[in-house]
Amino acid sequence: MESKDRARSVLIFGGAGFIGSNWAHRLLKTTGAAIHIYDNLSRPGVRNNLEGLREAAGKSGRLKVTVADVRDAARVERAVRQATEIYHLAAQVAVTNSVTNPRYDFEVNLMGTFNVLEAARRAGRRPFVLFTSTNKVYGNLETRARVARGKRWEFVAGEGVDERQPLDLHSPYGCSKGAADQYVHDYGRMYEIPTVVFRMSCVAGPRQFGNEDQGWVAHFLYSALAGAPVIVYGDGRQLRDVLYVDDLLRAFEAVRDNLHRTRGQIYNVGGGAENTISLLELMEQVERLTGKPLEYAFDDRRPGDQLVYVTDTSKLQRDTGWKAHVNPALTLARIYDWWKHNRELFPVAAPRRAEVVPWPHMLPRPA
């Protein structure tokens, strides 16, 4: 371990969550940094993630945990005082929840981010701040021509979305995350804090407790394993690029290691064109991998849903040399392997069949 790691004081907001716990575990295993987890522990499964981190830290004294909400400005300020680097991953993550409770979404995603930035400014240490935003800031991309080919939608031009795509904040969630990432970007300019914004596509991997609103790759897999049906909103040909969580963690490292080029920048981060998959294609992979049928029903496409989102990661590659390595099939297999070793974390659901919702444009079940 490099001696310089001992001067690293890493604060992770949302550190018990899916991405945060993976990042903290990697830091505990590969560096000598002190790790401070700040999390309100509100999401299902995160307490188990936290116990795993405590086991990984052992008696090293390198792990500190604060159970608090990012909306608590005073607690945030105390947590930030000694940090040399901050990873702000705490968020309300579901578009649907933002529609039903926009105030909560605003308070967590925008005011919470403002609290983190103000604490970093007032600390006077100019810590590195990485903020995870979302591809949802680009809206439903209606200006991009699309075409249906087989079991997937694709962009007619075949090009992914880069950082020049205009913002189109199409939901309360998009508004809160988009406004937050602009605050992060501007604090970097105004107060000379080294900030980086990641606008991320679909991230998947172990320690993810997927559900209908977030973490769809894991959600489809767990549903098949539990014999529970899923609802497909739209025709199932929606296309996404999937980013394996360890590839994302390498991107964290890449921007920090190249801060002379990356500070103040915004990057679109995802699996890229080589790692795309549609809902229908994923369902087929789930059934092949598990040997279990995945029951599903169709319903109307949800407002603001992107028929196609594929990340153009060329800017991040140019500035850091980073590139995604793990494809969706291997990502799915690694989540399945993690599930096998953690079955006790998942409730046993009684198998039931889906009541198919009539939808005029639904495709036939894939053969």
**Catalytic residue from among 173, 296, 309, 336:** 173
SS3 321: coil
The residue assigned the tokens 């500070």 is 263
Long-range contacts of 42-51 (CB under 8 A, 24+ apart): 43/17, 43/209, 44/209, 45/207, 45/209, 45/345, 46/16, 46/17, 46/21, 47/16, 48/342, 48/345, 49/16, 49/17, 49/18, 49/21, 49/207, 50/16, 50/21
The verdict on whether 173 is a catalytic residue reads yes
3-state secondary structure of 297: strand
Which amino acid makes up residue 275? N
Whole-angstrom CA distances from 45 to 6, 49, 188, 209 are 30, 7, 34, 7
Tallying the residues shown for the chain, one arrives at 367
Exposed, middle or buried, 29 (CB in 10 Å: 0-12/13-18/19+)?
A: exposed
**What is the Cα–Cα distance from 241 to 273, expressed in whole angstroms?**
7
CA distance 57 to 29: 8
Give the active site residues.
173
